[in-house]
Every structure is written in structure tokens, then in C-alpha cells.
Homo-oligomer: A and B are copies of this chain.
């Protein structure tokens, strides 16, 4: 959802010269799943090494996406799934009244477009909250891979689909049964945990999205989000400086707002 620093993140991913930060400093590293720093959290993380090599033979195209640009728009014909390679992305729906409803924020390794399989058209819109890159996975080719005996590719993908369902269950739980501060606490703990998994600090990070976008995800207004953040700061649970969160006391946050995180 957010990175402790955009510069740092870019460095880890795109400067193969920096040994120690990248485990496989192969010359052409960045274009292959096998050597992608996100592979553990991404589709290949679900596959045996043999199949990852096969996946790489598909040569996924990488696409730069500038902040604010869309990866796909709802209604677009579905041809590719997108894996976030770097940056933070926002998935959203158009509400009947025209408003935009955020359904999730996506960090490196996560897939975009899983709701498109149902109807062959994208049901949501994905856009970049900061400059980033996605890998375009041609769905048809991926399926041919399944046909050619790579049934475990299917396993990996369906597990990611299922994971998305679980993620949304948690969001529903939050929307259906928690008050404003519990929602925000759950959100922050979720971000914290996902940052940690990716090797970043769990107590200090940058929110890449606006208060309004957080509110949209959590079913709250901007003002309520802002007030809740201020309240947390007043209680000494964290420090807020614009979009930078620091000194977050995850443990106290958890016990005071007994909320499950993804």
C-alpha cells in the first residue's frame, strides 16, 4: 500500500549493482520471475521452481505506469492479469451515483484484475498512486500453460483468487461491524503487516493514498479519517506527519481496537 520511501523501493528493485539488497544479481534480472524480488509474494511464490522457469518463457511484458494513470478501466476487455512489480495501486468501482468507491490498495507482488475472469471484462478500474511498474500476464497463454500440464499454475492462480475473497471478507467484516477508529486501526495494522512481509518497517511507512481514498475504502468521510488519525496521535499510538506514519505501536493499537487484520 505504501513504502517507507519511494526512492528506497526503486533502488531495491531496479539497481542490480547494489549487491546485498538483491539476492540474484543476474545481469538481466528484472525481466524474469525467477529473479524478481517480489516472486515470493507473487504468483511464482505458489509454484515449483520448474514451473517458474516455464512461466518465464512467456516473457511477461513490463509496463511503466505513471502516478494517476490507469492500468485498466472497468468495462475494458480482459486479456491480461497484472502483477504489481513496484509502486502502489488502487482498485476502484464506479458507484451508481458516479462516486468512486475504492475496493483495495495493492502492493508489489499482488495481482490486479482478478474480478475480470467472471465476465471477460474488467469489473473494476486500477490506477497507480505513484509511479510504478506492472507485469502484464497474458491470461490466454497462461491457460495454455495449464493445458500443457502445468496444472499447478492453476493451483497458484486459484489460491490467489481465493485469497482475494478472504481479503474482501475481512473488509466486509470491518465495514459491517466496526466503528470509525476500529476501521482505521485495522487498516493501519493491515498496511503495517504487509509492509513487514515485504521487508520494510512495520512501524514507520508512507501512506501513498489520500485521506479521501482511505475513507472510501473504509466507508468513512475524509473528516472522520482525519479525526481518527489525530485521536491515535493524541493517544500516543503513532505519529502522523502528512502521509508519513511513524512510531506506530502495533501492539497497543491491536489491544485497544481488537480487530483482526487480513
Interface string of A219-235 (1 = CB under 8 A from B): 10000000000000000
B-side contacts of A101, CB under 8 Å? 172-173, 176-177
User: In the complex, which of the residues A147, A157, A162, A164 has the most CB atoms of chain B within 10 Å of its own CB atom?
Assistant: A162
Residue from the list B93, B154, B163, B169 in contact with A169, Cβ < 8 A: B93
Interface string of A65-107 (1 = CB under 8 A from B): 0000000000000000000000000000101110101010000
Does A171 sit at the interface, judged by CB under 8 A?
A: yes
Query: Taking the nearest CB of chain B, how far is it from the CB of A56, in angstroms?
Result: 21
Residue from the list B117, B175, B259 in contact with A175, Cβ < 8 A: B175
Does A143 sit at the interface, judged by CB under 8 A?
A: yes
Does A29 sit at the interface, judged by CB under 8 A?
A: no
B-side contacts of A149, CB under 8 Å? 147
B-side contacts of A117, CB under 8 Å? 158-159, 161-162
Interface string of A152-189 (1 = CB under 8 A from B): 00110111011111101101110111000000000000
Does A114 sit at the interface, judged by CB under 8 A?
A: yes
Question: In the bound complex, do residue A219 and residue B116 qualify as a contact, i.e. CB atoms below 8 Å apart?
Answer: no
Question: In the bound complex, do residue B96 and residue A258 qualify as a contact, i.e. CB atoms below 8 Å apart?
Answer: yes
Residue from the list B119, B147, B168, B218 in contact with A168, Cβ < 8 A: B168
B-side contacts of A96, CB under 8 Å? 258-260
Question: In the bound complex, do residue B166 and residue A103 qualify as a contact, i.e. CB atoms below 8 Å apart?
Answer: no
Q: How far is the CA of A93 from the CA of B165 in the complex (A)?
A: 13
* Contact status of A166 and B258, CB under 8 A, knowing A158-B158, A172-B103: no
Given contacts A151-B154, A161-B162, A168-B168, 9 further A-B contacts (CB under 8 A): A95-B173, A101-B176, A114-B165, A117-B162, A146-B151, A161-B165, A165-B165, A168-B172, A176-B218
> Which A residues fall within an 8 A CB radius of B?
93, 95-97, 99, 101, 103, 114-119, 123-124, 143, 146-147, 149, 151, 154-155, 157-159, 161-166, 168-169, 171-173, 175-177, 216-219, 258-260
**Closest 3 interchain pairs by CB?**
A117-B162, A176-B219, A175-B175
